[in-house]
């Protein structure tokens, strides 16, 4: 059996290695258009910024090392330009000599990845405008910075690549601006959680332009670029274009394989295309969203590797399936860790999935142990059964491991009650006896049982201030004096029982504290003293003020 693999990075290289481990006799050929295989594309920004010192550290395998270990015929600078499904051949162009040849196959795996979106706008061919997708792109940016000594970079797009490049270019000594078309960066986050990321970006001295259109660039007489941003035009030394990617699937479409409107290759759970001898994996394929069940393009390295393994299994006769992608991701934003998994609110609404939500601000580890910092968590759950649907987290430490646990909970269809029973590692430097994940479960359980009710940050300004409702801030007087919500009266939670006579049990009560812990306690006190209509602010004043 001869297997030809188009693309030799995450999905393609994984498929080749897995297939060899399963079948020592198969003939395996990798055709890679670029000059490198199995490189660490997620590490590219960190080489530019200097965190990764040596370029060779990005090269996880070379054609020679891969051949030596796996006996795979790896051919770089070889572009697959056409597929003849009837003849079962791939037309390949040797980019070094410009000649074409035919490569026959018994089974074909397509792992062509995705290509950066480049809009049809003025200046897109400028030598000072860059994308970042492969080693060649990295070399071009690194060399430009070394030779031209730019002072300022403008990044178009506030997604993963854009924010990572801002972080690393700042480390490289440049002033940086980020231009984002929508109202917040990192689209896997909801706007209320992204607001904390915005504050951190501003604090690092990066200029952030939100809700700002990008209309192209113009070369200036001094060689710099004018970035066209409506009425916010600015001059810069270089531009990084990071406005997303599109599946690189021209040859699949021309070969008649079924694709969606965006060009994503349609595959089944075995990673098989509409042709029984052609598989596809990675950023080029349409997968199933694990929670909502909708088809989706989710370009992430982890899923690409898993899909490559599934394709290889099936070619080798192992019944293996890929059940869907939940979009787990983590991102370093200067000193912050930002992570998410599963659905956010926008995705849940688009899928027509009912959800509740909770916000928590737990400490990263035991509060009495030095060095702790708050974690901001937002978790979506099913109101029907408490099943966890999605989670987002921002903080200086401990964020990734909490989101990882919640990612497992989503995959296992665990409920809030299941979270309360998880026995997670505890020692003061690492966590608390009640881990933040346990706390998520407790908060959701209380809501579902009706022990507490909450209102949200976007409802605060619409609350009546005419005396028809009672607005109470239960923080300490010093906290209240520093800053408070309009119309809220200060009754510290520890004084609440003694001051119940000041409140009317017949009127609704809205409570706020800094992080929603004391307001929850206050709500329980009032509920057990005859107050029937009591709500507290989810996420507390800390969340509200950050937004």
| Residue 154 burial class via C-beta count within 10 angstroms: exposed 0-12, middle 13-18, buried 19 and up | buried
Q: How far is CA 376 from CA 43, 200, 369, 423, 455, in A?
A: 26, 13, 19, 21, 17
Q: Where are the alpha helices (DSSP H) in 375-435?
A: 399-411, 416-421
Distance CA 209, CA 74 (A): 44
As a whole number of Å, the end-to-end CA separation of the chain is 58
Distance CA 1, CA 446 (A): 59
Contact 289, 296 (CB under 8 A): yes
According to DSSP, the β-strands at 99-104 and 107-110 are unpaired
**C-alpha 3 chain-centroid distance:** 33
Nearest to 17, CA basis, from 62, 71, 90, 60:
71
Distance CA 360, CA 70 (A): 48
Question: b/e per residue, 193-212, with b = 16+ CB within 10 A?
Answer: bbbbbbebbeeeebbbbbeb
Q: Where are the alpha helices (DSSP H) in 365-415?
A: 399-411
Tokens of 52: 């990764």
Q: What is the CA radius of gyration of the chain?
A: 27
Distance CA 219, CA 126 (A): 8
| Residue 374, phi then psi, degrees to nearest 5 | -75, 150
Residues in the chain: 547
Element (H, E) at 340: strand 336-342
According to DSSP, the β-strands at 217-219 and 225-227 are antiparallel
Of 42, 259, 425, 513, catalytic: 42
Contact 542, 195 (CB under 8 A): no
Distance CA 510, CA 535 (A): 5
**Catalytic residue status for 42:** yes
Write down the residue that tokens 């809009």 correspond to. 119
Tokens of 140: 């071009």
**C-alpha 292 chain-centroid distance:** 17
| Residue 44 burial class via C-beta count within 10 angstroms: exposed 0-12, middle 13-18, buried 19 and up | buried
Q: Show which residues are catalytic.
A: 42
């Amino acid at each position: 059996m001869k297997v030809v693999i188009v693309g030799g990075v995450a999905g393609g290289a994984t498929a080749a290695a897995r297939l060899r481990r399963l079948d020592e006799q198969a003939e395996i050929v990798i055709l890679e258009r670029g000059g490198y295989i199995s490189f660490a594309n997620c590490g590219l920004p960190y080489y530019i910024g200097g965190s990764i010192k040596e370029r060779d550290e990005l090269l996880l395998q070379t054609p020679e090392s891969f051949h030596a270990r796996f006996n795979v015929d790896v051919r770089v600078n070889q572009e697959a330009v056409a597929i003849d499904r009837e003849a079962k051949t791939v037309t390949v162009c040797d980019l070094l000599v410009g000649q074409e040849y035919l490569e026959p196959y018994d089974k074909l795996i397509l792992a062509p990845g995705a290509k950066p979106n480049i809009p049809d706008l003025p200046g897109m061919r400028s030598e000072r405008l860059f994308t970042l997708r492969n080693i060649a792109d990295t070399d071009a940016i690194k060399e430009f910075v070394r030779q031209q000594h730019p002072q300022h970079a403008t990044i178009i797009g506030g997604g993963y690549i854009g924010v990572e490049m801002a972080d690393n270019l700042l480390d490289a000594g440049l002033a940086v601006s980020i231009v984002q078309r929508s109202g917040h960066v990192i689209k896997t986050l909801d706007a209320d959680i992204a607001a904390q990321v915005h504050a951190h970006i501003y604090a690092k001295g990066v200029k952030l332009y939100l809700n700002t259109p990008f209309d192209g660039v113009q070369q200036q007489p001094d060689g710099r670029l004018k970035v066209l941003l409506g009425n916010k035009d600015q001059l810069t030394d270089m531009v990084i274009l990071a406005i997303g990617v599109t599946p690189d699937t021209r040859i699949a479409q021309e070969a008649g394989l079924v694709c969606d409107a965006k060009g994503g290759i349609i595959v089944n759970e075995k990673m098989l295309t509409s042709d029984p001898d052609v598989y596809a994996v990675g950023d080029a394929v349409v997968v199933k969203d694990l929670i909502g069940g909708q088809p989706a393009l989710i370009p992430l390295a982890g899923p690409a590797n898993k899909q490559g393994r599934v394709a290889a299994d099936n070619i080798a006769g192992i019944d293996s399936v890929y059940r869907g992608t939940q979009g787990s991701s983590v991102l370093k934003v200067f000193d912050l860790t930002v992570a998410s998994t599963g659905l956010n609110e926008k995705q849940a609404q688009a899928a027509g999935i009912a959800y509740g939500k909770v916000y928590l601000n737990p400490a990263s580890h035991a509060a009495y142990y030095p060095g702790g910092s708050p974690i901001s968590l937002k978790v979506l759950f099913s109101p029907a059964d408490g099943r966890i649907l999605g989670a987002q987290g921002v903080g200086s430490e401990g964020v990734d491991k909490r989101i990882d646990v919640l990612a497992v909970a989503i995959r296992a269809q665990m409920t809030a009650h299941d979270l309360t029973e998880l026995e997670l590692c505890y020692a003061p430097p690492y966590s608390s006896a009640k881990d933040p994940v346990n706390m998520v479960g407790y908060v959701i359980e209380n809501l579902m049982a009706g022990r507490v009710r909450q209102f949200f940050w976007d409802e605060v300004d619409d609350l009546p201030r005419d005396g028809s409702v009672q607005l109470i801030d239960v923080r300490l007087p010093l906290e209240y004096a520093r800053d408070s919500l309009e119309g809220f009266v200060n009754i510290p939670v520890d004084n609440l029982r003694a001051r119940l006579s000041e409140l009317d049990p017949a009127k609704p009560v809205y409570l706020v504290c800094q992080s929603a812990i004391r307001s929850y306690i206050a709500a329980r006190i009032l509920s057990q003293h005859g107050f029937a209509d009591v709500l507290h602010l989810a996420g507390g004043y800390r969340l509200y003020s950050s937004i």
